[in-house]
Structure 1
Amino acid sequence: MRFLLTLFLIFQTALHGQQKDFNLIDFEKADNIANKLEGASLKNLPLLTYNLTNDLKTDVEKFRAIYLWVCTNIENDYASYIRTKNKRKKIKKSNTSFLAWNKSYTPKMFRRLVNDKKTACTGYAYLIKGMANLAGLQCEIVNGFGRVLNADLNIKSAPNHSWNAIQLQQKWYLCDATWSAGTFIINEDIPVFKKNFVNGYFLTSPEYFKRNHYPIDKKWLLSNPNYKFEDFLAEPLLYKDAFEFGTYPITPNKMKISLNKESAFEMIVQSEKKLVKEMFQFTHNDGNKSKTIIPEVEVIKNGYLLRHQFQFKGTYDLHLNLNKKPLATYVIKVTK
């Protein structure tokens, strides 16, 4: 317990404020402008950017209007994603080749984006950068690895994702318009994109963002430069609701955990919101059946300590849920 709390306090001192830096900014006006321009054409990008930003005073409001418009008007194109994924596999041994291909592919992708308002992650990142630059903001495309349930990443995997870094008030911030825009729902074995804006990927703290994003160029971690790709792969799997709720497991920081049956599993969770103990649930699956339980929950400084005692040895997929929404997954091996 003392060790977990020490890790938690160390983590606390390393946190970046990120979206919290702008708590005094009301995004209502920026959001209203973006919503009123729903369906606007991309064929005159300077005009669209001007219409989104001209009446806003601060750079962060201008970027917010651009970001929200892109996330709510552009559809994630599964066919484009598959084409990109297959090409990335062919050149996965060379990051230089990948970056060169990505640069040459972008203009072709952008033409389809303008005409159909459909794209994959590269298109989202390219559009965010283009519009932000038109608004006088410094914005970059970040290429790297996105860790999701079906990504099956390993040390030899090809880069599979792109997102953005934006400079505001002389400080760099991270965001992912692709994952903010929505998700794919499987309908009769056919992936169908469902729009659902996720605010949690807008100006996300680097300490959380790196839990499921790892850049080719490590400077875009914007946090611990000693954080390795192997560390990234070993992290527990985090889902979009963790970012949407602003609620994250801090420890253990490894997905695969081994413990003795006599020892309780302990987890420390940090949240940007005040939570009620009963909101937490664990669901564990031993390969045969699933069981939902309410863990012991103790309120600690700036967080919550969750505890569960496994009754039987075995290997369990343990899911942390908040109000039945999945936040993270661990794999627990319980021995005698």
Structure 2
Amino acid sequence: MINNAAALLLLISSLIIKEAQAQVSDFTNINFTKADSIAALYPEHSLYDLRGLSIKLTTPLGTEVEKFRSIYKWVCDNIENDYELYVLSTRQRAKLKSVDELRNWNRTFGAKVYRQLLRNQKTVCSGYAALIKSLAEYAGLKCLVINGYGRTAQANVGGSGVPNHSWNAVELNNKWYLCDATWSSGVIHMEERKFVKDFNQGYFLADPALFIRNHYPLDTSWILMHSKPTLNEFLNAPLVYREFFKCDIKSLIPATFNIVANKGIPLTIQLTTHKDVVIEKLQLQIGKTRPLDMALYQVKNNEEEKVYCIEYAFTSKGTHVLHVLLNGDYAVTYSVKVY
């Protein structure tokens, strides 16, 4: 028990850097029913025996990806994102000025994260990432904690950026993949001051081109793309949310958060999705007004992808916040200057 505790504390407080090559998930057609069902067999299992938990989650499974899926699903279903700890870590991380300050802060804050995780199965992103890493390594899988910039409506929209998030890279079948158990597990509701569990498949072994929309690593080798956006491009891209990942959006036009339009002239937004994605409902919301149901027309459909376009003409000048909702949930936000 002492060895497990020490190992997990070390993982939480460490920043791990490693070179990697770009890869795209190869597992979109895998059926994870068996892995998910095994993960469901051990609700609220003690974290004092991580090796035993890892063995239970992975021994019945034959492939590396299924073993990792069982671990990932168990963590997402059983570990709660601690609202109070999240607020505290967010405020303190915002004050950090350098990577060295981030490393030092991780070391001191890691002890508090660890105690809360061990005792109450509550944590923040660094705890999620460290737990995933530890369980994966007990299963014989190579897994790393990646630290960097997480982009939300409250953080890293423009400006110079604040390192504020941790996630994982895992090696499966000799290739590296990216995932974020924190954001897969559910949502922090700031107004209600609570965490709501809601598993999101989109952050599990995500396409690096999609993952980079709201994850930018301090070590850019972990972008896992040959053509890498700059930090400035990342900070000034459209703001995307969970539904964007659920719908597996491959590309988005316009490609910047701040865009310009003319009054009375339609603004066109273009979305490219995987061919199997179904968008049943699309809405636009201007500021805090009621969402407007929009017609979504398809301009391309082939064996691999579908391309959709929507158009909207602003009726007043000024700067407007424009939200795109897919299937009833927020997917994209722009700031539009209308002349």
TM value normalised by structure 1: 0.86
Task: Look up the equivalent residue of 1:203 and give its one-letter code.
Answer: L
Q: Show the counterpart of 1:28.
A: 33
The residue correspondences of 1:121-136 to structure 2 (distance < 5 A) are 121-136=125-140
Q: Show the counterpart of 2:328.
A: 324
Q: Show the counterpart of 2:5.
A: none
- Superposition deviation, residue 308 in structure 1: 2.4
Cα distance change of structure 1 residues 153 and 255 upon mapping to structure 2, 3 Å threshold: closer
State the alpha-carbon separation in 2 of the partners of residues 325 and 140 from structure 1: 31
State the alpha-carbon separation in 2 of the partners of residues 284 and 256 from structure 1: 14
State the alpha-carbon separation in 2 of the partners of residues 125 and 97 from structure 1: 20
Q: Show the counterpart of 2:255.
A: 253
Q: Show the counterpart of 2:292.
A: 292
Q: Show the counterpart of 1:79.
A: 84
- Superposition deviation, residue 46 in structure 1: 0.2
Q: Show the counterpart of 1:147.
A: 151
State the alpha-carbon separation in 2 of the partners of residues 28 and 34 from structure 1: 10
Q: Which moved more, 1:310-319 or 1:208-217?
A: 310-319
Structure 2 unaligned spans of 5+? 1-21
State the alpha-carbon separation in 2 of the partners of residues 248 and 318 from structure 1: 20
Question: Aligned residues, how many?
Answer: 314
Cα distance change of structure 1 residues 25 and 116 upon mapping to structure 2, 3 Å threshold: same
State the alpha-carbon separation in 2 of the partners of residues 276 and 125 from structure 1: 31
The structure with the largest helix share of the pair is 1
TM value normalised by structure 2: 0.85
Cα distance change of structure 1 residues 280 and 87 upon mapping to structure 2, 3 Å threshold: closer
Q: Which of 238, 258, 263 lines up with 1:236 in the alignment?
A: 238
Q: Percent identity?
A: 40
Cα distance change of structure 1 residues 69 and 277 upon mapping to structure 2, 3 Å threshold: closer
Cα distance change of structure 1 residues 153 and 320 upon mapping to structure 2, 3 Å threshold: closer
State the alpha-carbon separation in 1 of the partners of residues 228 and 283 from structure 2: 33
State the alpha-carbon separation in 1 of the partners of residues 53 and 164 from structure 2: 29
Q: Show the counterpart of 1:102.
A: 106
Deviations 1:232-291 (A, max 9, x none): 111111011111232465111111111233642112212235467762222223x8x555
Task: Look up the equivalent residue of 1:125 and give its one-letter code.
Answer: A
Deviations 1:23-69 (A, max 9, x none): 44321110000011112111100000000000111110000000000
- 1:306 maps to 2:306: no
- 1:113 maps to 2:129: no
SS in 2 for 1:22: coil
Cα distance change of structure 1 residues 248 and 23 upon mapping to structure 2, 3 Å threshold: closer
Structure 1 unaligned spans of 5+? 1-14
Q: Which moved more, 1:203-212 or 1:326-335?
A: 326-335
